[in-house]
Amino acid sequence: MNSHAKIINLLAKYVNLSKTEIAEILEIPPRPELGDYAFPCFSLAKSLRQPPQKIAADLKEKIEASAENSCFIEQIEVAGAYLNFFIDRSYRAVNVIRRSLAAGDKPGASDKYAGKNIIVEYSSPNIAKPFHVGHAFTTFLGEAIANLYEYQGANVYRFNHLGDYGTQFGKLIVAWKLWGDEKALSDNAIQELTRVYVKFHQEVETRPELEYEAREAFRRLENKEEEELSLWQQFRDVSLKEFNHIYDRLKINFDNTNGESFYSHLIPEVVKRLKEQGLLIESQGAQVVDLEEFGLQACLILKSDGSTIYASRDLAAILYRAQEYDYDLNIYVVGLPQKNHFEQVFAVAKKANFPKADNNIHVAFGTVKMADGGFSTRSGNVILLEDLLETSVEKTAAIIRSNNENMPSDELRESAEKIGLAAVRYAFLRNSRERDIIFSWEEMLDFEGDTAPYLLYTIARCKALALKAGSEKMEKLADISDSALELLVEDEEQEVLKNIELFPISLNRATVSHEPSVMMRQIMTLARSFNKFYHNLSVLRSENEDLILARLALTDAVERTLRAGLKLAGIEAVERM
């Protein structure tokens, strides 16, 4: 048990709060002089009818009188309404390294979600449209969230809900019949489909009848008429081929790639359920569900021509997933602009008493901004993810080449590929997900900044230290004594140990909040503290053999923790930079 858990258990004996409630308010002070953990007593003041300062003082007296604290608490201080705990340095050193050695290559892993079925829907690009950098946000964020749940024991199902249905396909079918080029489709399918789609929106301004033709084409597609269905299948196949090329490069795999079209046959069941409960009402010829009680506008289920929309297909998907996967959580990793859409869909599901109606979550995220300010398929102004990745790899290769002139070309390309892709992923995951991302190559590839290259360089440094120490010394770590580990009492060593210990806590908080950035900030803080330790204290130069072994054990724990954190983010480490 780590010191965080021990503090929670100790407090639970003296305050009228559950361990979960204590964990939620127990703080990590920003500076070492304020202690390792700080317990605020404000929440106890009302029930105890005492000032929080007195509550803190009384708690200090009770805990200090307890025999339980003697082995791991060095000091307890009252600071206003806070009770600050200082962990014994020798205890922390032994406890953290022992736990790290026992965890192997899975530090912080747990069975917290064992037996839980978690669906994470992410990526979900639109068929016949380019895979642009806006799709990267949901792809990288969703993959990290899925990894976090899986790392903590959940049965995770990765869903790629492809945008392969809707009125836009009516437009595309009309556009293809008018202006499509088979040879161009064969040479570059997405580019050709984008060209005719953009042309449709240009032409419709002077030829409004095209909108009617598009609606009719989609109606025929919904009726599964041969010509429209054949074109739709062709567009879907060529698009998937392009998307899979990107997923293969990113090493992302899905368990389910059912697109919107898959759920269309289930919509009659949705409509039936809503009708049976008297929830469907007519509005200007369309069928809607009133959501005034939820403070929301009515949710459109069927258009006036009887065609379906996103909401009806998402409701059908909820029914299907509840039946087939018996999910405990159904997580949609979709941009902030869709917030109202999901509020409406979830509200309809609750009002209609759908199974698992309370188990659906929308994990929203911000936008990706470049110099041009955004993306629009209709105008043809699209920044492709593939181009962004390739540019990152090329710029990384140039940096590596300038510092390693003799590196073999194949090794250089492999390293540049890993580091370049890592830099892009990290840029999407390092900040809170609802913040917009503004790309800066200078920042992304800064080997000293808040970047993936910095983290990868730190791992490479740890690896280099182990190689320099030699296999004989490294093999001794498995049998290192407590007395050797108790030597890790310097401020720099303790800061590293503290950050290793906080890694599992960051995993839990990142998972609960669906904010991988919480974990990313923790591993960056760990890397910074390790490099400070590396520069201020010698790992391999000491007359004390036990101290050398202890510092090597600390270095080894740092490397495994950083590797685990990056792996959860979908980032692969490199052996040398």
Whether 323 and 175 have beta carbons less than 8 Å apart is answered as no
Whether 259 and 164 have beta carbons less than 8 Å apart is answered as yes
pLDDT tens-place string over residues 517-560: 999 999 999 999 999 999 999 999 988 999 999 999 999 999 99
pLDDT tens-place string over residues 31-90: 989 999 999 999 898 888 899 999 999 999 999 888 766 689 999 999 999 999 999 999
The CB density around residue 274, as the number of other CB atoms within 10 Å, is 23
Q: Which of 135-149, 246-260, 295-309, 466-480 has the lowest mean pLDDT?
A: 295-309
The structure tokens listed for 301 are 């289920």
Strand partners, 112: none
The structure tokens listed for 497 are 């140990």
Whether 128 and 235 have beta carbons less than 8 Å apart is answered as yes
Q: State the sign of the Cα–Cα–Cα–Cα dihedral 221, 225, 230, 233.
A: positive
Describe the strand order of the beta sheet including 360-363 as a list of residue ranges.
155-159, 117-121, 329-333, 360-363
The CB density around residue 285, as the number of other CB atoms within 10 Å, is 10
Distance CA 570, CA 424 (A): 11
pLDDT tens-place string over residues 87-113: 999 999 999 999 999 999 999 999 999
Share of the chain above pLDDT 90, in %: 82
Report, as an integer, the average pLDDT of 1-30. Answer: 92
The structure tokens listed for 397 are 């290769």
Look at the domain 392-568 and name its fold. Answer: Isoleucyl-tRNA Synthetase; Domain 1 (1.10.730)
Give the model's confidence band at 373: pLDDT under 50 very low, under 70 low, under 90 confident, else very high. very low
**Residue 299, φ and ψ in degrees, nearest 5:** -95, 120
C-alpha pair distances (Å), 204 with each of 35, 196, 209, 212: 66, 12, 7, 10
C-alpha pair distances (Å), 1 with each of 26, 336, 494: 17, 39, 18
* Max Cα distance, the chain (Å): 87
Q: Where in the chain is the domain with CATH 1.10.730.10?
A: 392-568
Q: Where in the chain is the domain with CATH 3.30.1360.70?
A: 3-87
The structure tokens listed for 215 are 């609606």
Distance CA 280, CA 300 (A): 9
Q: What pLDDT sits at residue 460?
A: 95
pTM: 0.92
- Best CATH choice for the domain 3-87 from the list 1.10.260.40, 3.30.1360.70, 1.10.730.10, 3.10.20.30: 3.30.1360.70
Residues near 225 by beta carbon (within 8 Å), at least 6 away in sequence: none
Q: Which of 72-76, 350-354, 491-495, 554-558 has the lowest mean pLDDT?
A: 72-76
- Chain mean position to CA 264: 29
Give the model's confidence band at 376: pLDDT under 50 very low, under 70 low, under 90 confident, else very high. very low
Q: What pLDDT sits at residue 463?
A: 96
**Residue 333, φ and ψ in degrees, nearest 5:** -95, 90
Q: Where in the chain is the domain with CATH 3.40.50.620?
A: 117-260+310-339+352-369
Give the model's confidence band at 428: pLDDT under 50 very low, under 70 low, under 90 confident, else very high. very high
Whether 391 and 417 have beta carbons less than 8 Å apart is answered as no
Whether 291 and 297 have beta carbons less than 8 Å apart is answered as yes
Distance CA 90, CA 486 (A): 5
- Best CATH choice for the domain 117-260+310-339+352-369 from the list 1.10.10.10, 3.90.930.60, 3.40.718.10, 3.40.50.620: 3.40.50.620
Q: What pLDDT sits at residue 371?
A: 52
